[in-house]
Structure 1
């Protein structure tokens, strides 16, 4: 199983600093937009934007930062994109609702000399000026391999049944990369995929509804579920509980949200991915300031013909949650160990 020791976030951050930090120290003023895709995941409001805003304030105190969230509406995001251009944005950090539709936005901005940084989700059909993200394909592969290892260590025979796969939004290219990684992680495991589903808008209620149908269809054949993020994992777990399934088969996740971590503490969710979004947001800010300074930051690699900076994910389970999440300050016992999660925290040695 891949853990934080395998994927050193600090080293990845250092790599980002070496790639773009040199150009970011002499920043002029300017307007930068930070456009996020939805409210279904709490990370954008709680981590991504605060991280971006803080790094921009440090690197470019005279810069103006515009923030908008499209609430999973591609048309609304287009309006927001037009709005920030009219407000003088010279760099736009874009996490697209619809990765295909975003191509026209990139073209429009670039035709006016505006730089576009694809953030978290790539724009596959046209090159942005830069792409910064966690390694989404590695995320999918890691959570799937972690689940497979857990099933085998638990003595679950592959012949007993198979897994469900709850993917992310079909309009999100990053979800497609996670899905590809999941397929790689399951390949050759011996566990067949009973069924899979692309969850519109990453909406947990839609994941729950689909999983409910699969429980009726496959019943005890379901030995585990690879869910692509903590929201779809929560919907999945709710479906099993509503069906009276106890214990719930192991379910994966991604994003290390407070809710996801609490479900792991309660024993309902098996794993998640720790990817402190502030790190990627900070890297995006460095790239933005480099562009404002008239420089062209280089990527560590190229993805979709776009200079790219990818950060490595870390798998979190109950075994390393305290050491890698709580002890390292990514979440506190005070926030995690509320109500029904207090007993689980005691078992894991997490102090409230």
Structure 2
């Protein structure tokens, strides 16, 4: 997650305790299930909470802006002001519940401030929304949802820690007539749930194609491939990631695949293992065992940057140099960018969070005003992957981007998702210069 979705999350039970999160204001800057186009409309034990003021003039009209869709959002948050009429027409709190602060820094560094920025730009006041973090605790995430609903929430935007929490929150929200937006990770339960994320099947396909291209560019002979999948035991997104890259590499959507699988390009699958709960340390142990048992492994596929870096660390400890054994990832973490520039990782899937938060706020604002979301916004349907129970849900899916050294400066650096100074300090000025990145 990574995620980031597709990220490991530690979970323990604990009581909810209020802890203020500093109001964050950033300058404009910078999955899952099978999907199909549909045009449907229809971990400490404390929690972080942000309640911020968001004044602003409202538009007279409460109508949905003409042409609103997943491509309407930009780095300047310019579309949000068009929602002020809808914001004024709607009633009830919008509760935003993020999952944790440890599995990825994205929730503190990007999601929380971007939600604040989007909500304020759409004309929400301090009494109209609240942003919380469950700190990786299942019981806390459920309690936060219940608390928001008791305070009059009419829409909840939440990133479920797992499918069990998702189902619990959905059931409670449904029983209280509250619309639910499952953010970044799907909840396949109930009939009042929407899904906002990036196209997770496409995320996997980008990883798969990036891997195939990289194996060729690096001159890997007769690739003996090991795949380190994400937490398919807890995350349906991880299933779709693997289905996506397997469809490209092996022309099969099964996950995990059986050792000995081959393709027409001369690739052979040595092994395919799931990393329980997305724990990077566990992934490193799995790969170490596999590399010891199968020293002929000369190409790898990983579901996110954390697992990619776990493999890179093992390879370096074994004396493997750059551009010898490909690795992959997603989430465009700074560690992933370092590994790309240093020749250990082929690329990473970038999912601009500023687009995702605006998408979720736009959909929440429409639902809060009891309007019908347009087909350009709810542009797909997401269904449970094979083997995952649940029902199909209407979805708003954004397009992910494959980042390599050649387009890093024009994507994650341009969007201020990655600090060029920190990146260049880690990899060296000459490496950055070669990638046209200026600290």
Which TM-score band applies after superposition, normalised by the shorter structure? Answer: 0.7 to 0.9
The number of aligned residues is 340
Of stretches 132-141 and 122-131 in structure 1, the one that deviates more from structure 2 is 122-131
**Larger Rg: 1 or 2?**
2
Match of 1:4 in 2: none
Unaligned runs of 5+ in 2: 1-68, 252-262, 384-391
1:287 to 351, 355, 363: 363
Q: 1:146 aligns with which of 202, 207, 210?
A: 210
Please say which of residues 177-186 and 290-299 is displaced more in the overlay.
290-299
Q: Deviations over 1:263-285 (max 9, x none)?
A: 21222222001211110111101
Q: How far 1:328 moved relative to its partner?
A: 5.5
* Pair 1:68 & 2:132 matched: yes
Output one character per residue of 1:113-147: Cα deviation in whole Å (capped at 9) or x when no partner: 11100111111243443211100111011111111
Change (3 A) 1:164 1:301: closer
2:350 aligned with 1:350: no
Where do 1:101-180 residues align within 5 Å? 101-158=165-222, 160-180=223-243
Comparing 187-196 with 311-320, greater Cα deviation is found at 187-196
**1:26 to 2:82 alignment:** no
**Counterpart contact for 1:24–1:293, Cα < 8 Å:** no
Whether 2:143 is the aligned partner of 1:79: answer: yes
Structure 1 residue 52: Cα displacement: 1.4
Task: Quickly say closer, same or farther: Cα 1:343–1:334, change in 2 above 3 A.
Answer: same
- TM-score (norm: length of structure 2): 0.71
Corresponding position: 1:245 with 2:292:
no
- Which residue of structure 1 lines up, in the alignment, with residue 411 of structure 2? 324
Note closer, same or farther for the CA distance 1:68–1:280 as it changes in structure 2 (3 Å cut): same
Q: 1:337 — aligned with what? A: 424
Listed as ranges, the gaps of 5+ residues in structure 1 are 1-10
Q: Is residue 227–residue 233 contact of structure 1 (8 Å, CA) maintained in 2?
A: yes
Q: Write out aligned runs for 1:39-78 (5 A).
A: 39-62=102-125, 63-78=127-142
Distance 2:139 2:207 in 1: 33
Q: Which moved more, 1:242-251 or 1:113-122?
A: 242-251
How far 1:66 sits from its partner (Å)?
2.5
Give the root-mean-square deviation of aligned CA atoms. Answer: 2.7
Change (3 A) 1:126 1:214: farther
In the other structure, the counterpart of 1:223 is 298
